[in-house]
């Protein structure tokens, strides 16, 4: 069992907090979540992740990504068999924006990892043992490549958002069509249920309505565009993420992030 902690306190776009391989995973209980993005994968055995009202099995060859501050716990599925994992936790000045840009959810199960992703931590582990300035840049770049692998695997996996297929369908639809005009009737037509029943199912699973989830998703995507595409006007960004009114977009952005789009860009 090997784990490395990062002692570097400098600001970087991406930096790790800790990384581990061949880890005999014990029970973890975090009622207030964790301060960092957390990737956990099963190399042998099986574990259970409890998050929200979901209990998710993490089988061998599967991985799980959590955002910071999401209450959760996890533990081995059996007292007779060790749950062996690899993991990396990370943060950084660009971490949240990159995760938004890659369309990653608050938490996601990757049910099938390709070879490059499943072996990434083992192959790159030695690079995280060094702490010179040049090494921290290499580590930051490695985490970026890791996120690209997550994005590629997300494209090939139908990620599990909740245990409810209706909610999954709506979330997937929003991720693929958020630039378009979407109404409650759109969701109703998608699920085959009435508008009121569709909203109730989604709200029971997520704590918010589909339109609120859509609006928040659009705003997070807009934030990423503001950061990574400085040549785009705020008006154009509002159009690209599905807002028909730039003034309404600016108002909602300020409510959500605490500053106007122009202030945020500056």
Question: Which domain-ending residue is among 91, 122, 156?
Answer: 156
Task: Tell me the CA distances in angstroms from 209 to 167, 204, 249, 253, one per residue in order.
Answer: 11, 9, 19, 18
Check residue 43 and give its pLDDT. Answer: 92
Q: Are residues 174 and 117 in the same domain?
A: no
Check residue 104 and give its pLDDT. Answer: 65
Q: Are residues 147 and 171 in the same domain?
A: no
How far is CA 198 from its chain centroid?
25
Which of 161, 157, 193 lies closest to 174, judged by CA?
A: 161
Contact 37, 68 (CB under 8 A): yes
Q: Are residues 169 and 110 in the same domain?
A: no
Write out the residue range of the structural domain in which residue 225 sits. 165-265
Check residue 264 and give its pLDDT. Answer: 86
**Residues whose CB is less than 8 angstroms from the CB of residue 177 and which lie 6 or more positions away in sequence, other chains included:** none
DSSP annotation of 208 reads S
Question: Which domain-ending residue is among 103, 127, 156?
Answer: 156
Number of domains in the chain: 2
Q: Are residues 190 and 238 in the same domain?
A: yes
Each residue's pLDDT tens digit, 58-81: 999 999 999 898 899 999 987 667
Question: What kind and span of H or E run contains 147?
Answer: helix 133-156
Question: Which domain-ending residue is among 107, 127, 156?
Answer: 156
Q: Are residues 149 and 173 in the same domain?
A: no
Q: Are residues 129 and 176 in the same domain?
A: no
Give the CA-trace dihedral at 112, 114, 116, 118, to 10 degrees: 30
Each residue's pLDDT tens digit, 9-21: 777 889 999 999 9
Q: Are residues 118 and 69 in the same domain?
A: yes
Question: What kind and span of H or E run contains 190?
Answer: helix 184-191
Give the N- to C-terminal CA distance of the chain in Å, as an integer: 46
CATH of the domain at 204: 1.10.10.60
Q: Are residues 140 and 177 in the same domain?
A: no
Check residue 39 and give its pLDDT. Answer: 96
Check residue 253 and give its pLDDT. Answer: 93
**One pLDDT digit (tens) per residue for the chain, 266 residues:** 588 888 777 778 899 999 999 899 989 999 888 999 999 999 999 999 998 777 889 999 999 999 898 899 999 987 667 899 999 999 988 888 777 766 666 788 888 888 889 999 999 999 998 888 888 889 999 999 999 888 777 755 444 445 567 888 888 888 888 889 999 999 999 989 999 999 998 888 878 899 999 998 899 888 878 876 778 899 999 999 999 999 999 999 999 888 899 998 87
Contact 185, 195 (CB under 8 A): yes
Contact 150, 102 (CB under 8 A): yes
Q: Are residues 57 and 130 in the same domain?
A: yes
Return d(Cα 139, Cα 90) in angstroms, integer: 11
Check residue 160 and give its pLDDT. Answer: 43
Q: Are residues 131 and 21 in the same domain?
A: yes
């Amino acid at each position: 069992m090997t784990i490395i902690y990062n002692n570097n306190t400098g600001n970087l776009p991406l930096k790790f907090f800790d990384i581990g391989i061949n880890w005999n995973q014990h029970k973890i209980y975090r009622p207030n979540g964790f301060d960092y993005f957390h990737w956990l994968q099963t190399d042998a055995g099986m574990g259970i992740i409890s998050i929200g009202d979901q209990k998710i099995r993490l089988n061998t060859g599967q991985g799980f990504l959590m955002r910071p501050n999401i209450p959760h716990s996890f533990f081995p599925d059996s007292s007779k068999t060790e749950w062996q994992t690899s993991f990396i936790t990370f943060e950084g000045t660009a971490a949240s924006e990159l995760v938004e840009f890659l369309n990653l959810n608050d938490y996601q199960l990757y049910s099938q990892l390709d070879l490059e992703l499943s072996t990434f931590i083992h192959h790159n582990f030695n690079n995280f043992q060094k702490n010179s300035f040049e090494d921290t840049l290499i580590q930051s770049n490695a985490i970026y490549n890791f996120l690209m692998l997550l994005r590629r695997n997300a494209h090939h996996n139908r990620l599990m958002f909740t245990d409810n297929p209706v909610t999954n369908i709506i979330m997937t639809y929003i991720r693929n069509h958020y630039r378009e005009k979407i109404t409650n009737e759109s969701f109703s037509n998608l699920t085959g249920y009435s508008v009121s029943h569709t909203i109730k199912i989604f709200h029971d699973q997520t704590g918010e309505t589909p339109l609120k989830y859509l609006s928040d998703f659009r705003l997070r995507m807009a934030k990423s565009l503001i950061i990574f595409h400085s040549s785009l006007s705020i008006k154009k960004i509002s159009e690209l993420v599905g807002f028909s009114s730039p003034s309404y977009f600016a108002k909602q952005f300020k409510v959500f992030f605490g500053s106007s789009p122009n202030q945020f860009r500056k």
